[in-house]
Amino acid sequence: MTTLITGATGKTGQRVLRRLQALDHDVRGVTRHSTPRFDWHDRTTWTEAVAGCESAYLAFQPDLGLPGADEIIGAFAAEAVAAGCRRLVLLSGRGEEGAERAEKALIASGAEWTVLRSAFFLQNFTEGAFVDELAAGSLTMVEHTVAEPFIDVDDIAAVAVATLLDPGYAGRVLELTGPELLTFEEAARAVGGPTVAYRPVPTEDYIATLTAAGLPAADAAGLAYLFEEVLDGRNAYVTGDVEAVLGRAARSIDGLGRGEQ
């Protein structure tokens, strides 16, 4: 069975791919620069990417909660199912109305689906959006007061592989969190050191920060308002789904950077 891995160089995709390869599983990792090429926003790239695959790990870019993502996921899932790629595992977000619309579109496709609703990635602080600013000694974020159960992406990858290979997870929604609640300020200082200057700013100012960093204006606005939406306390709790699937506790921020297990 060949498994398609979208976003194969992304934080979760590359880890899912490596884990499946280590199990001698046949995988096809695709990106906008791979052969075959795959682009969520270019439907002409879908057919070749999915041909001959029986399962797929779906990690949408730039974010599943942004407008229009549900239509793309629904169209891709329908094409995948028609091509014989029925087992679809979707990386989603917690408490995002847009992401929930995409989940419903996936389910409506007739796929054998599993949804992984993930908390914010711990690796955003070490290999993602916050790295450069943290290295300069600060972190800017949308104003909020609640904590978040940040998750290690190695845990997400391990759960994704388990759900891809075990048909018993079909038809289930799993909420993936770390074992503890931390504010962005606490997480930034745990990774970057106690002298990190944390800078909460209004949403409009955060949009300006993102666009100054090179993000397209529409994506910057979408992400900023998405953060404003979900950082209102709705996700300020931990779950036991990682442990239920893996048989061990979810990794804490103290274990960040120790690699796959």
- Residues 82-130 have pLDDT tens digits of 999 999 999 999 999 999 999 999 999 999 999 999 999 999 999 988 8
H or E segment at 69? helix 69-82
Looking at the domain assignment, is residue 260 inside a domain?
no
Instruction: Report how far residue 107's alpha carbon sits from residue 102's, in angstroms, rounded to the nearest whole number.
Output: 9
* Structure confidence at residue 258 (pLDDT): 61
Closest CA to 201 of 154, 151, 143, 258: 143
Looking at the domain assignment, is residue 261 inside a domain?
no
Based on the number of CB atoms within 10 Å of its own CB, is 193 exposed (0-12), middle (13-18) or buried (19 or more)? Answer: exposed
Nearest 10 degrees: CA dihedral of 124, 37, 14, 218?
A: 10
Instruction: Report how far residue 59's alpha carbon sits from residue 8's, in angstroms, rounded to the nearest whole number.
Output: 9
* pLDDT above 90 as % of the chain: 86
Looking at the domain assignment, is residue 161 inside a domain?
yes
Closest CA to 113 of 94, 87, 83, 91: 87
Q: Is the pLDDT of residue 260 over 80?
A: no
* Structure confidence at residue 54 (pLDDT): 98
* Structure confidence at residue 259 (pLDDT): 60
Helix axes 153-165, 13-22, angle to 10 degrees: 50
Q: Which domain holds residue 44?
A: 2-255
Instruction: Report how far residue 160's alpha carbon sits from residue 224's, in angstroms, rounded to the nearest whole number.
Output: 27
114 DSSP β-pair partners: 89, 172
Give the total number of structural domains in the chain. Answer: 1
The end-to-end CA distance of the chain, in Å, is: 24
Q: Which two tokens stand for residue 85?
A: 């790629």
Q: Which two tokens stand for residue 4?
A: 């398609």
Q: How confident is the model at residue 222 (pLDDT cuts 50, 70, 90)?
A: confident
Instruction: Report how far residue 91's alpha carbon sits from residue 135's, in angstroms, rounded to the nearest whole number.
Output: 29
**CATH (domain of 225):** 3.40.50.720
Instruction: Report how far residue 81's alpha carbon sits from residue 33's, in angstroms, rounded to the nearest whole number.
Output: 24
Looking at the domain assignment, is residue 210 inside a domain?
yes
